Amino acid sequence: MRREKIKNILDSEPGRDVLVKGWVKTRRGSKQVSFIAMNDGSTINNIQVVVDMQAFDEEMLRQITTGASLAVEGKLVRSEGRGQPLEIQARKIEIYGPADPEKYPLQKKGHSMEFLREIAHLRFRTNTFGAVFRIRHALAYAVHKYFNDKGFYYLHTPIITGSDAEGAGEMFRVTTFDLNDPPKDGNGRVDFTKDFFGRETNLTVSGQLEGELGALSLGEIYTFGPTFRAENSNTPRHLAEFWMIEPEMAFYDNDDNMDLAEEFTKYLIKYVLDNCGDDITFLNNMIDKGLLERLNFVLANDYVRITYTEAVDVLSKSGKDWEFPVGWGRDLQAEHERYLVEQYYKRPVMVTDYPMDIKAFYMKQNDDGKTVRALDVLFPLIGEIIGGSQREEDYDKLMRRIKELGIPEKELWWFLEARKFGTAPHSGFGLGFERLMLFVTGMKNIRDVIPFPRTPRNADF
């Protein structure tokens, strides 16, 4: 017999024989009959297996406990019990792997998220994390579908690089040196010309710089890969290893950029609502009662578009007692972003034209000489979910900025050459995949929307 997934079985008609394989969620019953709730990961819904205790070996039956994996063959029938439409009357049961009930850490419900993080290798087995990671898959698929349908090309930009795209210096070094005894040059400094790549290298903080080169030839590209930041931010919104989606488009100005950001994020949210209904409903009931309403609200309303200067104005007049001061030239902090989104405008907000001094070197300079054509998209409960900009395509202006900031220009020769040969207006942005996951699932901590989180002092599993 061929094994069937529980999702398909639950969608099918009774009256036939089926073979399921999965893990025991719960078992209850009497000396005569046992009811096993089985799950195989294909859906949040379990299938009930009814076991006539007299018909099976006692020793085998003893091993059917929460967490055990098994195969069950039997007849699919309408269930007379409440809570499920169908059930399987077991005829044959094979145990693959028992799970000692004395030691299996996932008993019953109600484990804290913190505890589950410590057993991240097993937390997939819970309803919550099953739902979260099915949704994560669906979102990733929707990213590719959206861009493919729009004619964007998926570009694989390097993970090991020599550049610091964001200029913030928050990089993890990549080396094969013996750190206790690295080769030194004549001045006693570490000699990286002897390192694996013959130069200093690090894990990328963004695929943008290479992505721009693709866009200035292929037209519209996107990257979707892991990015790494060695910032010591222990917050519910920061990871040291996170996934970013970076579209980059030739001939787009910042207004086109905003249109894309809004259409794209709405598409992803709608995709999950349309395709992950059971999981979203579960999360809405168990994790965040406002989730569905919030997702639908974002879909139903236009995002607000304001400049940084307007945002500072709103914040200054708010009468709030801010932890971080508000003033033109200062960066917006999470508390400011969330005030704008959750209290003032009450919907996603796209903020543009930030002061040049608080944004990266590559952003297009405005004529005022003070601001750049930046774009941040702010979401309810999350704050910044997207960062992007129109890019400076003028060689001289870009070069001047690089010199002002003391960025080693030699390292960026290839990036600068894009401005020498057939330069063109272009724009792009980066969407933090886990930030979007937080918004879509209602989960509260970014450590709980990536399978194995990497954060300061934590790289277990």
By CB under 6 A, tell whether 434 contacts ligand 4AD: yes
Q: Which does 429 bind (CB under 5 to 8 A by kind): Mg ion, ligand 4AD, none?
A: ligand 4AD
Asked whether 86 and 50 are in contact (CB, 8 A), the reply is: no
Segment near ligand 4AD (CB under 6 A), from 254-262, 270-278, 339-347, 425-433? 425-433
Which residues sit at the interface with Mg ion, rule CB under 5 A?
A: 387
Q: Taking the complex as a whole, how short is the minimal distance between the CB of residue 114 and ligand 4AD, in angstroms?
A: 19
Please state at what angle helix 127-150 crosses helix 277-286, rounded to 10 degrees: 130
The binder of ligand 4AD chosen from 432, 437, 438, 448 (CB under 6 A): 432
- d(CA 337, CA 343) in angstroms, rounded, equals 10
Asked whether 44 and 106 are in contact (CB, 8 A), the reply is: no
Handedness of CA 53, 58, 62, 64 (dihedral sign): negative
Tokens representing 147 are: 């861009």
Q: By CB under 6 A, what part of segment 119-178 binds ligand 4AD?
A: 165-166
Please, which residue, 225 or 387, has the CB nearer to ligand 4AD?
387
Please, which residue, 138 or 165, has the CB nearer to Mg ion?
165
Asked whether 157 and 223 are in contact (CB, 8 A), the reply is: yes
Please, which residue, 40 or 376, has the CB nearer to ligand 4AD?
376
By CB under 6 A, tell whether 225 contacts ligand 4AD: no
By CB under 6 A, tell whether 214 contacts ligand 4AD: no
Q: Taking the complex as a whole, how short is the minimal distance between the CB of residue 445 and ligand 4AD, in angstroms?
A: 12
The binder of ligand 4AD chosen from 39, 204, 206, 371 (CB under 6 A): 206
- d(CA 386, CA 155) in angstroms, rounded, equals 19
Q: Which long-range contacts (CB under 8 A, 24 or more apart) does 149-152 make?
A: 150/220, 151/219, 151/220, 152/220, 152/221, 152/222, 152/247, 152/249
Q: Taking the complex as a whole, how short is the minimal distance between the CB of residue 384 and Mg ion, in angstroms?
A: 6
Please, which residue, 318 or 455, has the CB nearer to ligand 4AD?
455
Q: By CB under 6 A, what part of segment 370-389 binds ligand 4AD?
A: 384-388
Q: Taking the complex as a whole, how short is the minimal distance between the CB of residue 22 and ligand 4AD, in angstroms?
A: 33
Q: Which does 448 bind (CB under 5 to 8 A by kind): Mg ion, ligand 4AD, none?
A: none
Q: Taking the complex as a whole, how short is the minimal distance between the CB of residue 211 and ligand 4AD, in angstroms?
A: 7
Please, which residue, 133 or 192, has the CB nearer to ligand 4AD?
133
Please, which residue, 229 or 364, has the CB nearer to ligand 4AD?
229
Please, which residue, 380 or 383, has the CB nearer to Mg ion?
383
Please, which residue, 315 or 385, has the CB nearer to ligand 4AD?
385
Please, which residue, 129 or 433, has the CB nearer to Mg ion?
433
- d(CA 269, CA 262) in angstroms, rounded, equals 11
Q: Which does 73 bind (CB under 5 to 8 A by kind): ligand 4AD, Mg ion, none?
A: none
- d(CA 1, CA 17) in angstroms, rounded, equals 9
- d(CA 161, CA 400) in angstroms, rounded, equals 24
Q: Which does 412 bind (CB under 5 to 8 A by kind): ligand 4AD, Mg ion, none?
A: none
| Cα–Cα distances in angstroms (integers) from residue 120 to residues 194, 365, 452, 459, in the given order | 39, 45, 7, 11
Query: Which spans of this chain sit near ligand 4AD (rule: CB under 6 A)?
Result: 165-166, 206, 208, 229, 231, 238-239, 242, 244, 246, 384-388, 428-430, 432, 434-435
